[in-house]
A and B are shown apart, each in its own frame.
Chain A
Amino acid sequence: MSLSKKRSSNIASSILSTLPPIAPTLGSAPQQSEQPQPETQQINEITKKKIPQTIKLGSRLIFTSRRPQSWSWKPFSSSARKDDTQFSHWVRSNAEYPDYPYARFDVGLDKLKIGDDDWALLGEEWGEVNADNKAGSSSTVGGGGNKANKSIVEKLIKKTASKIPPWTREETETLLTLAHQYELRWPVIIDRWHERFNMLPDGSLNTLSAVRTVEDLQYRYYHVGNVLARKQLAGVVGEINTSNAGSSNVVAAGSNATLTGKGDVKQSSQIEPSDQQALATLAKNLAAHPTLVPSISIPNTGTTLSNKPFDLIAEKARRAQLHHVWNRPKAEEREEEELRAELRAIELQLRKMKKSGKFLVPKGSPHSVSAAAAKGDTKTVAERKAELDAYVSTTNNLTASFLATAPVPTPGTPYLQSGRLFPPALGGGLNKSTLKQMEDILTELKVKEPIATKRACDLYDQVRKDALTLLILQKIVLRKEAEVMAKRGKLVNAMGAGNGDVVIEEEPETKKRKKSDADKVAVVAAPSQPAASGATKKVTKSAGNQHSVGKKLPTTAGQSKKKTKKSAAPALPLTGASASSTIAVAAAPTGANNSLNVTKAAAAAATGVAAPALPVVSKAPPTAPTNSAVTKTPKKRGRPAKSPAPASTSTILATGDANETSGSANKKAKKIS
């Protein structure tokens, strides 16, 4: 009987399922199967049915009927060990490994080896410094510095190197050994370095070597690697230069010969033939383009031959900074922390001010210049602020009136969201007619009363608020516009028959056009006055028609026609006064066509008024475009008859044109009404 059966008869299946997946349990190695006792066989018969065919352990299926795989305690030796000491471990009985499977993790760095003539090379490289530092000493003593790279950095290093003792051969060899042993783990290397050179823990030095720091060691190591790599390269290059022609094989062999000739048996034997070839090609490149010094390295030592040497100065500075940060007293740190907190607070305030449109302008800064330029514009900062305030106060008022009717959320008292659907309270710039207009807007936008969820109510409130803001601001704009027009009219009147330069100065953009314009106006100004006033009433009506018909007018886009008429209406008498003063005057000699002319002029004026409403919709500063829009809008429309300037210059032509337009306008107006 197999072992598994015997075991399963003894151990409950629940225990079996808790066994680890691999079970070379200590002390329970496979024993030879014995003849089962008759009673155990009986028990087996009984329990057999309960034992499942397979048991799942983790992701593995174990067949209860199958004999378990046997493991054995076998000796092994690893190729990673230098001696062939044998250890034992558990393996599958049938498994055979050619080598210990974990031996391949035995990786390490190669040691940088310096031959005797390399020392001479190193000595030669640092000869200059040696001459300065220590005359007559052996060539093994080196300082810092490099003939090849005479950058400023190198000079600086020389400077610092003159302060610390030059590297001895023993030191360098110790360094290379340590770097090899600890595989360039510099924290460990510097630790062992000081352990060896006996720096006492209290900081006092026992030997001169102990003054060296991590960066000194790093610099030295990479420098030695660099020098050695360059030497290798130089050997190959020299060979190529001597034997210019020849196949790469010859080159490789030749370079080998040169290196050997130089006495560097070790180095040349170290280099693989493939490396030699690579070096040869690199050297060719070097000969062709001296600037393209390739980055090659002595393999597996962590060093490279590159034009960029280890930046000792920067490294020293970096470490000094780290040291400083570590040793900084707590008080200083706290002070800095406080300063930072203060700075943060100030920045926050500045940002807040910026948001609310205020500026802190320091004296003589570029900002003050621009502020002055802004002042040179039509408005002062204070005025802008006042206007902005109008907007802000409007929204504030709106919010307040919305809040007045909406239920106030208090803890413990539930309320219905539908309570928020009530219209806002009157007052604070809101009256019944505004509300009515708002509702008109909503119906036109097909916004019905929503189902009262929080989100829907929020959005609904938002829409209502936006509509009300729009209406209120429109009102404000119209009022302002009227003011402007009235002032302009007054100005024209005050000038009388004088020059129009005052007007022109006010609006530099239209300077040219207005000049000729105003001249003409001035000629006929006086006799036309009554006609203009008489025409005003007609203007009112036809302007309204013009509005309802002219789909191009921006205000009509999203509003009901009725509302547009209403909003335009109060403005017209005033605008008409100013507009007619320019246009109706010009129209006076034409007599019969007077009313038509005025209609057109009024239409032009109306568009001029209506145009500012567009920026309001898009929530731009409401007052900014008013000045230019008056003159710009007619130009955009591209109809010569509607522009006031051509109307005065070529009256007859314009009249005919206007006649047609206004006629159709009247017809349409009739249809609608």
Chain B
Amino acid sequence: MYCGDETGAVIGDIGSHTSRFGYGGEDCPKVVIPSAAYRHHPTNRSDGKRQKVNQSKYTAPVSLLNLPPDDCFDDDMQQVGFVPIYSLNSNNIHHKPIHDTVDTEAYTALWEYSFHALSVRGRNKHTVGHHHESSSASSTDANNNTTIDHPILSSINPHHGTKHHAQLLEILFESLSTPAAYLCPGATLSSFAFGRQSALVVDIGHSGTTVTPVMDGYTLKFGSVVSDRGGEWLGRCQGRILSCRDLWRDNAPCQEIVPRYITRACKEDNNDQLLHKLKLAKESSFHQWTVHQVMYEMMTGSHVLPLEERGSSLVESLFHTNTTIKNENHGMMEEDDMEEEGQVYVLPDGTRVDVGLSKTGKDLCHLPELLFAESLPECLQSNDTNTTQSPSSLPLHKLVQHSLSQILDTDIRKELLSNIILTGSSSLFPGIDKRLSAELSTLLPNVYKNRVICSKNSVENRYSTWIGGSILSSLGSFQQMWLSRREYEECGAVLGLQKFH
């Protein structure tokens, strides 16, 4: 039975790196933007009086190719107006509940941008059709008063805590004036996107990997585990390998990654103001984001080999090289320079990195192996002294095992294991599903047969959470689940959240 009903819900999935928006019932999100916003500082008025800081304006989307706009640089505060929605504390992301609060205005800005792009505001959107408005800034102002008649479904991360969720709900109802809203854990939505009610959702995202058991659409708290091995972590590892080993083809003066915005800015004439801006930008989180952008590009390069099904020994042999051997290789490498042109990766600033010949270069080709590495090489170990085997440092397959061991009802392990859903942008490395399956079958008792489900379609893998939301919101039987504005006004955000559990 189809049981679908198009009610024009707006689905939003704001992740740690990318946000996706679109109408429910469609098969992929229409708006995909970075999960960050520019904070524009109020410009000097003619009378020289400054506006208050809290009146500053937020805009999305963020371009990671160019420097932030001029009014984002705050000379007094010595900082750049770049606000990631979820700030990543690089070393221990998940040890502290730092996600308790979000920058409300930045969050709102993302939604507002999507509303603008999807023409959510204004009545009878479906019958009137799409009317493009020229200026995003004016539209946000102009439309703030008009209400929308589309319910909003937003994905949440159960690890962020109730306080955070209540805040999101407040934003949806107060700032965005939605008639009804629903918050659903991303893992649940992912499992729906793969057509399953019960599954073990392994989401390898930007900020880390989450393993979440989903039972009949309910996420289980016991069994939900997080590790920091995600796309961002892989990018950092790659950056460290690049910086601490002499792989550089040309004798580059500075052995660090130069993001695109610097090269672009330097093409223009150099003046003091620009240098000052660059200096400010380099210390901000904007620089980190742009560096990660470069790292992501490199990770998805053609030199990266698919994961092998049996690579456990490979991980140990990789990334543990002596400096002496490496230096010898380095000497040899230069001779074959011209012959092996295809084995060179060119960074956006024109730096050429050898990835074919040297041992270290080959390590770069096996970068995804790090997700399964039991122990990390010294150069990649993080600085914190937390030596205990916390779940945040577990390899992927151990994380799955850890999750299943935590589940309180032993009966469901078998079912979950036969429905492992591998999703998230960092799960796009080829062969990762087979590898995970192989590792699990060696790790777990033989009676437990595992099956890893991973879509071959990269869109489905990247946007599975959003797609699940799209499916859920267009079900006829779902329409009774919305938390309506009236209910919200009666019981408030915290009590309203209970409707979603």
Q: Which of B443, B446, B482 contacts A337 (CB 8 A)?
A: B446
A residues 335-359 in Cβ contact with B at 8 Å: 337
Whether B3 pairs with A322 at a CB distance below 8 angstroms is: no
B480 & A73 in contact (Cβ 8 Å cutoff): no
Using Cβ atoms and an 8 Å threshold, which residues of chain A touch B128? 27
Closest residue of chain B to A102 (Cβ to Cβ) is: B476
Q: Which residue of chain A has its CB nearest to the CB of B447? A: A325
Smallest CB separation, A90 vs chain B (Å):
5
| Contacting pair A322 B411 (CB below 8 A) | yes
The residue on A at minimum CB distance from B415 is A187
A182, B179: Cα distance in complex, Å: 27
Indicate if A116 sits at the interface (CB-CB under 8 A).
no
Closest A residue, CB atoms, query B8 = A88
* Chain A residues with CB below 8 A from B404, complex form: 326
Given contacts A29-B127, A87-B482, contact A322 B222 (CB under 8 A): no
**Segment touching A, from B212-220, B307-315, B334-342:** B212-220
Q: How far is the CA of A323 from the CA of B448 in the complex (A)?
A: 12
- CB distance B479 to A78 under 8 Å? yes
Chain A's closest residue to B487 (CB) is A83
* CB pair A187 B5 closer than 8 Å: no
Determine whether the beta carbon of A87 is less than 8 Å from that of B409: no
Q: Which 9 A-B pairs have the closest CB atoms?
A: A102-B476, A27-B129, A85-B484, A80-B480, A187-B409, A105-B477, A322-B410, A191-B220, A188-B218
Complex interface bits, A20-41 against B, C-beta within 8 A gives 1, otherwise 0: 0000101111000000000000
B149 interfacial contact with A, CB 8 Å: yes
Establish whether residues A187 and B408, one from each chain, have CB atoms under 8 Å apart when the complex forms. yes
Number of A-B contacts (CB under 8 A): 125
| Distance between B225 CB and nearest chain A CB, rounded to angstroms | 9
Q: Decide if B196 is an interface residue (CB 8 Å cutoff).
A: no
Q: Is A415 an interface residue when CB atoms closer than 8 A count as contact?
A: no
- Cβ distance A400 to chain B, nearest Cβ, rounded Å: 46
How far is A539 from B66 in the complex, measured between Cα atoms in Å?
Answer: 123
- A591 CB to nearest chain B CB (Å): 90
Given known A-B contacts A83-B487, A85-B180, A185 and B218 have beta carbons under 8 A apart: yes
Report yes or no: A214 in contact with B6, Cβ–Cβ below 8 A. Answer: no
Distance from B468 Cβ to chain A, minimum over Cβ atoms (Å): 19
What residues on B are CB-neighbors of A449 within 8 Å?
Answer: none
A85-B486, A88-B8, A182-B218 given; name 4 further pairs at CB < 8 Å: A83-B486, A106-B480, A319-B410, A326-B448
CB-defined contacts of A49 to chain B, threshold 8 Å:
none
Residues of A with C-beta under 8 A to B124:
73
B126 adjacent to A73 (CB under 8 Å): yes
A333 surroundings in chain B (CB, below 8 A)? 445-446
**Per-residue 0/1 for A180-217: is the Cβ within 8 Å of any B Cβ (1 yes, 0 no)?**
00100111101110110001010000000000011000
Let me know if A50 is at the binding interface, CB within 8 A.
no
Q: Is the CB of B130 closer than 8 A to any CB of chain A?
A: yes
Task: Tell whether, in the assembled complex, residue B447 and residue A100 are in contact, meaning their CB atoms are under 8 Å apart.
Answer: no
Residues of chain A with a CB closer than 8 A to B448's CB: 326
Q: A108 vs B446: C-alpha distance in the bound complex, in angstroms?
A: 38
Is residue A670 contacting chain B, with contact meaning CB distance below 8 A? no
Q: Please give the number of chain B residues whose Cβ is less than 8 angstroms from any Cβ of chain A in the complex.
A: 49
CB distance A81 to B480 under 8 Å?
yes
Chain A residues within an 8 Å CB radius of B164: none
Q: Does A101 contact B (CB under 8 A)?
A: yes
B215 touches A188 (CB 8 A): yes
In this assembly, does B221 line the interface, its C-beta being within 8 Å of a C-beta of chain A? yes
Would A326 and B126 count as touching, CB distance under 8 A? no
Q: B486: which A residues are within 8 A, CB to CB? A: 83, 85
Please tell me if B243 contacts chain A, counting CB pairs below 8 Å.
no
Q: Does A374 contact B (CB under 8 A)?
A: no
User: Which residues of B, 1-31, contact A by the 8 Å Cβ criterion?
Assistant: 3, 5-8, 23
**B445→A87 contact, CB < 8 A:** no
Give Cα A337–Cα B409 distance, bound, in whole angstroms: 27
Could you list some 13 contacts between A and B, CB below 8 A?
A24-B6, A27-B126, A80-B480, A88-B8, A88-B149, A100-B476, A103-B480, A182-B218, A186-B411, A191-B408, A194-B408, A326-B404, A326-B448
Q: Which residues of A contact B6 (CB under 8 A)?
A: 24, 89-90
What CA separation (Å) do A90 and B127 show in the bound complex? 11
B282 at the interface (CB under 8 A from A): no
CB distance from A194 to the nearest CB of B (A): 6
Q: A100 to chain B: which residues have CB within 8 Å?
A: 476, 479
Assess the B216–A191 pair: CB atoms within 8 A.
no
B406 within 8 A of A: yes
